[in-house]
Amino acid sequence: GGLGCSALGLRCCKYCGFGAYISTTCPDSTTTQADASTSAAAATTTSTVTATSTTTVTTTAATTVTTTTTVATTTTTTSTAATTSTTIIAATTTTTTTAATTTTTSTVTTTSTAGSAASSATTAAPADTTTTTAVEDAEAKCGHSTSDCGTSSTIFFTVDCYNGGLGCSALGYKCCRYCGFNDFVSITCPDSTTAAVAATTGAAAITTTKEATSPATTAAQSSTTTAAAVAATTTEDASVLCGHSTDCQSSQAFFTIDCLYGGLGCSAMGLKCCRYCGFDAFINIVCPDSTTTGVPTSDSSVGTTAAAATIAATTTTVAVTVSTTTTTTQDISACGHTAAACSCSAAEPCLFTTACLSGGLGCSALGLSCCRFCEFGSFSSISCEREASTTAAIADPPSSTVASTTAGVIGTTSSISTTTEDLSAQCGHEESVCASAQSFFTTDCLNGGLGCSAYGYTCCRMCSSTGTGTYASIVCPSTTTTTVTTTTVTTTTVTTTTTTTTTFNGTTTTTTLGTNLLEPISLASLDSTVLPNATGHYYTPASIEIGGPIMTNKFWGNWLVSTGTWTSIYPMPYVIKWGHTAGDPPALKISHGSKVTSYQSANPERLQYYYTSFVTEFALGASEDSSSSAVHTITKQQLFGIHTTVSGADGYSSMTFPIYSGMAYVSAQYSNFTPQLTSDRAITNIEQVSGGIFSLSNNGGREFRMYVLDNDGNFVDTSYTFSDSGTMNQKFFGWIRLAEVTSKCPTDILDAHAQAIVTGMTLDVREGGRVSYKFETAGSSNVELLHFAYNHTLAWMENAGIDSSRVTAAKIIPPTKGIMTGILGDEWVLQVDLTEAENVDFLPSGEVTDSDKIEWLAAEALGTYQWFQSNWESAIYLYSYYYSGKGFQKIGMVCLMLEKFYGIDSQYTQGCADILATAFECFYEAGISCNMPGLYYDKVWGGIVTRLGYDTVGCLGGSDFGNACYNDHHYHYGYFVVAAATLVKLQPEMVNNTGFVNFINAMIRDTTNPSEDDALFPMFRSFDWFDMHSWSRGLPPSADGKDQESTSEEVNLVFGLRLWGKVTGNYILEELGTTMLALASTTIKTYFLMQNDNTYHPADFVTNHATGIFFQNKADYATWFGANTEYIHGIQMLPLSPAMQLTRTTTFCREEWDDILEAIDLSATDPWRTIVLSGNLAIIDPDTAYDKISATGAGYFDDGLTRVWASYWAACQPGENV
């Protein structure tokens, strides 16, 4: 038994390499399977096996049934290195039934004799060599023709499917079989030149013999036979059985195929056939001698030493015990431990289950019999949630348990009372994956049969609810059918009256708030057949002790992975990074450097890039050594920052750093460490100004203030001093804070607010454009918090009526985005104007009034739709979620054109919507295939990612732009959201399609989850609520921090949120999308799309007008895919969505055109030309743009743009003189 066994209804066939069996490695295609006619071209070994099986049980039942069966069988097996012939002489089985336990003990004696290369001995039962060669015979047997399988290269005709199997019943025809893709990749498609009748030969065995490299090797490799696997005679064979190599990566663990049945110490290191030995709970398991080679086992010493190569014959006796147990209340005590003892880590979870009393994959986790690893590594197929109910089931067992055993000539079948979880475990998948109107879950399929292995799942069976078709003989279980004839989308506006109280300088203000917009999009579980769980991500979280999903695109992202540990992060205005390795004295380096610039060679008057250099002005650390286990550990995450801790080597000393966007001081809370200051420059002065206040300076001319506070925020007395080298005179318990002193940030302001320490920030978003931050603080409650804000944030606070006394004179320059201003108080309230965003709809504002243009656009829309009728798949199914998304939205815009000119009820409009509906199906319906790689729900980080590059270096960007590493999710998924909203607009009944709605909601939850109540995704993965725009970089570290280059694709997502909320009746989501669209649009106009009067970048960079790649630390006039001017500007213009009318003003477009774009000479066949014409010229000179765009060949547009959409966009623009 075991995961995947009884594949195709055949006991010793095992599924591998797909779905629930992904952890089971398929043998190489050249490996020979059990074959009835083997020629011994190389060395041959003849084995005679005498098997006697005796079953003895003690039963509490009144009746004992004994059945004796004698079976004479002859088989032949072939190993991968040498031919082995095995004859089973006899098998005698005595079976006694019991209500609780059946135990079978088998003794197998094997005698192996190594032969020479010239000799062979083969004993075989007659093989069935009858082959059906006539197509007519095959078609008659299957009940349909070969042509019913169609012309697809991934479906073929084969009578193997007569009795069911993986991929069978493709297209609803019994003998049509899927092959070569997704869950069917293990099924090899016949060569296109092979005649259809070739598939009718059945599963004819193919004999493959590998030459033995030497007689010594043959002897060594043929010396082992076990009941677990007759053919496991080499290390290679054992590795195949176990699904991993024999390297167990530890001196206290060893490889053994005994662990195929579970046992104490098995699944060590998360590897099924690795076993812990020689320590703690495993002290009685003896570790093999280090000189032993081959395939070691703990109970049967069948390992092969070098001397074994000279042995001509070896006899081995192996005892194997297999138990099948029905769970009862008494079983808990059999485990020998409690359920609570199964307390594993979040990274390697486990559960308590008495199913492990019979062994199995993942059992004996932590060395405890009934603990089972689940949902990671080799145990990904074992559901933690599925098994979690086992304990409850044990507590209230059935009133009676009856077991019956029927012995036959071929084998023994047992019917035992089990729980739902037990049945799922036998099948290797959940019941829920079978749920559909045409299929159901049944363990009858463990023995195969018509309709079994539906969708590639062993116990799913196709059925007929009408009594007709291929599966007419299989009646679907009765179901309740609901017919929806009409659809009404109801929008409910929820008004919540909430008040907030703010106190500043003794004045209390009470404000009535509108509806809270930070409500979950959905709390629905994900469809595991569409978004299966994955745990083997390319990046493992480094030094993180927080539960739940992890925020991947925030300023501290470099520190989330081991390769970014010593890379800078950008909380602004300061830049910080670690200056020590694990085990060394800790040091957090602080930089507030100067800008470095570089000019373009082709345009020497314009900057190519600028950045801020990192120089350690001062580092905050300790004189004692840190723990050798980690440089630091992140212990808290919020939307605006983290807490991270450095532990001492003594196990109880610590330094904790709260790090938040806009923090005015760099702070550390010490516990039993001796503070130590260092600098990359020479420290020239440490002067005590007063108790707890010190002035610091270095030879770079930089001056800092240092504040020493107790844990309550009080300044310490003058007994606390520092040496000239920066070491405090005693161990310390309290806070130390550093801040740079400049003429714009003087000491009086810094001193006055040093006792208020930011330790947290929370977000509140309300309808009507109200956004607020609430600060959590430590220290003195009588001191106002000082925190820095960007200028655009300050403008929104002024819109909200901030008291001018809260805006200080303190100014500081961060690496990018100009100047920050010090704000006082523990709450900031921002008010954003939503007027423009509330007017954004599916189509751009403005109307086409020219009758000739209207006539041409209507004809062009129809012609484009007619072309897509036959070619839509080539525009959508592009094996990339970025390009596929662009294809969806492109066709969606054509559908809107048809609605515009022909009406929503037109056959053309509805036909176009049908294309979208059909195209979406393969994304949310299991069993429908298309040319897409598929998505995972990544349990490591908490998100929806492509399978491309998930566990390979392609994650860094080579595979779909690094989607698997959380790059560009708001770009990719925004296209799907807009297209889905378009579909629901045109076909409102789609809102009742749960699978479709849940799939789109999952993409929104991945990018823009607004609530901590959603436990599957982090809050707002991409959007930065402090900077007020998104970051596209996910997990791959960068020395310049997070970045973004396509602002138009950013606003496309939040535009999509607004539309999706609108068409699905989700007012809160619609309002949230509107708010984010207004915020992002303002930020983009302020920092990314630079008009001549922009003061937030160096003047010589502003003349570029577009920032290019905008990092936290750097602005680089370039793109990730090339340095062409049209790339740098064009990437800010696609997709062409109505949201762009909020970011691309006529003033900006005129300056960009006159200064940059007009001079670009692009060919009429260059797709970038149409992007530039529509994204810039159409806004300032729509008539000229329309003429140029409409005259361009339809094949020369960007892959996300059509001629009709670009022409309509130009025709409805008002122009710069309006």
Q: How confident is the model at residue 1207 (pLDDT cuts 50, 70, 90)?
A: very high
| pLDDT (tens digit per residue) in 1080-1115 | 999 999 999 999 999 999 999 999 999 999 999 999
Tokens matching residue 1212: 């409805």
Whole-prediction pTM value?
A: 0.64
Is the pLDDT score of 1214 beyond 80? yes
Q: What is the structure's pLDDT at 212? A: 33
pLDDT of residue 1056: 98
Q: Is the pLDDT of residue 797 over 50?
A: yes
Residue 775 scores a pLDDT above 80: yes
Q: Is the pLDDT of residue 297 over 60?
A: no
Where are the strands (E) in 560-606, listed by range? 575-578, 587-591, 595-599
Determine the average pLDDT of the residues in 586-595: 96
What b/e string do you get for 480-500 counting C-beta neighbours within 10 Å, with b at 16 or more? eeeeeeeeeeeeeeeeeeeeb
Tens-digit pLDDT profile for residues 30-50: 433 333 333 333 333 333 333
- Asked if 887 contacts 876 with a C-beta cutoff of 8 angstroms, the reply is yes
Rounded to whole angstroms, what are the CA distances from 1148 to 562, 1044, 1092?
A: 42, 20, 8
Determine the 3-state secondary structure of 665 from DSSP.
Answer: coil
Q: Can you read off the two tokens belonging to residue 856?
A: 């041409």
pLDDT at 27: 87
Q: Sign of the CA dihedral 969, 971, 972, 977?
A: positive
Confidence category of residue 4, pLDDT binned at 50, 70, 90:
low
- Asked which of 103-112, 338-347, 1028-1037 is least confident by mean pLDDT, the reply is 103-112
Residue-level pLDDT at 455: 56
Closest CA to 796 of 513, 1058, 1057, 1075: 1075
- Taking residue 929's Cβ as centre, other Cβ atoms within 10 Å add up to 18
Rg (CA), the chain: 35
Is-cis flag, bond preceding 288, omega within 30? Answer: no
Residue 747, pLDDT above cutoff 90: yes
Per DSSP, which regions of 231-355 are E strands? 253-255, 274-276, 313-325, 350-352
Q: What SS3 class is residue 1019?
A: coil
User: Residues 6 or more apart from 686 whose CB is under 8 A from it?
Assistant: 677, 694, 695, 696, 722, 723, 724, 726
Q: Which residue has the higher pLDDT, 694 or 462?
A: 694
The predicted structure's pLDDT at residue 66: 33
- Say if residue 54's pLDDT is above 60: no
In angstroms, the CA 369 to CA 347 distance is 20
Higher pLDDT, 488 or 818: 818
Model pLDDT, residue 443? 84
**Which one has a higher pLDDT value, 527 or 272?**
527
Closest CA to 502 of 768, 794, 793, 797: 797
| Rounded mean pLDDT, 148-158 | 83
Is 164:449 a contact under the CB 8 Å cutoff?
yes
- pLDDT, position 332: 53
Q: Kindly state the average pLDDT of the residues 228-243.
A: 50
Model pLDDT, residue 888: 98
Is it the case that residue 400 has pLDDT exceeding 70?
no
Alpha carbon distance 886, 968 (integer Å): 13
Which of the pair, 265 or 857, is modelled with greater confidence?
857
Secondary structure letter of residue 286 according to DSSP: P
Answer yes or no: is pLDDT of 11 > 60.
Answer: yes
Residues 6+ apart with CB under 8 A from 1034: 552, 553, 557, 962, 965, 966, 967, 968, 969
Lowest mean pLDDT across 240-244, 305-309, 754-758, 1131-1135: 305-309
- The per-residue pLDDT of the chain, averaged, comes to 79
| pLDDT over 80 at 992, yes or no | yes
Residue 137 has pLDDT above 90, yes or no: no
Whether 1176 has a pLDDT exceeding 70, the answer reads: yes
Checking if the pLDDT of 465 tops 90, the result is no
- 396 or 282, higher pLDDT: 282
pLDDT at residue 706 tops 70: yes
CB 824 within 8 A of CB 788: no
Q: Given phi > 0 = left and psi -120 to 50 = alpha, else beta, which region is 1108?
A: left
Please tell me the distance from the alpha carbon of residue 580 to that of residue 632, in angstroms, as a whole number: 10
User: Across-strand partners of 1119?
Assistant: 1122
State yes or no: pLDDT of 76 exceeds 90: no
C-beta separation of 218 from 43 below 8 A: yes
Q: Give just the sign of the alpha carbon dihedral 737, 740, 741, 745.
A: negative
Q: Provide the β-strand partners of residue 813.
A: none
Check residues 56 and 177 and name the one with the higher pLDDT.
177
Residues facing residue 312 across a β-bridge: none
Q: How buried is 1058 (Cβ within 10 angstroms: 0-12 exposed, 13-18 middle, 19+ buried)?
A: buried
pLDDT of residue 12: 82
**In this predicted model, what pLDDT tens digit does every residue of 918-934 receive, in sequence order?**
999 999 999 898 999 99
Q: What is the C-alpha to C-alpha distance for residues 304 and 219, in angstroms, rounded to an integer?
A: 10
Mode of pairing for the β-strands spanning 507-513 and 595-599: unpaired
CA 976 – CA 1025 distance, rounded (Å): 23
Mean pLDDT calculated for residue range 1041-1050: 98
Q: What percent of the chain has pLDDT over 90?
A: 57
State mean pLDDT over 530-546: 96
Residue 903 pLDDT: 98
Is 50 exceeded by the pLDDT of residue 620? yes
Check residue 501 and give its pLDDT.
62
| The pLDDT of residue 251 | 79
Rounded CA separation 930/933 (Å): 9
Which of 929, 950, 927, 952 is closest to 940 using CA atoms?
Answer: 950
* Token output for 761: 């920030």
Q: Across 241-250, 307-316, 871-880, which has the greatest mean pLDDT? A: 871-880
- HSE-up (13 A, CA, CB side) for residue 595: 17
In this structure, the number of other CB atoms found within 10 A of the CB of residue 821 comes to 19
Question: Is pLDDT at 516 greater than 60 in this prediction?
Answer: yes
Whether the pLDDT of residue 296 is over 60: the answer is no
pLDDT value at 1208 more than 90: yes
pLDDT confidence band for 496 (50 / 70 / 90): very low
- Average pLDDT for 1125-1137: 98
Q: Which residue, 940, 1119, 1112, is CA-closest to 1037?
A: 1112
pLDDT at 111: 32
For 122-131, the pLDDT digits (tens) are 333 333 333 3
pLDDT tens-digit profile of 184-229? Answer: 777 888 864 333 333 333 333 323 233 333 333 333 333 333 333 3
The angle subtended at Cα 548 by Cα 1069 and Cα 948, nearest 5°, is 80
Beta bridge partners of 83: 44, 78
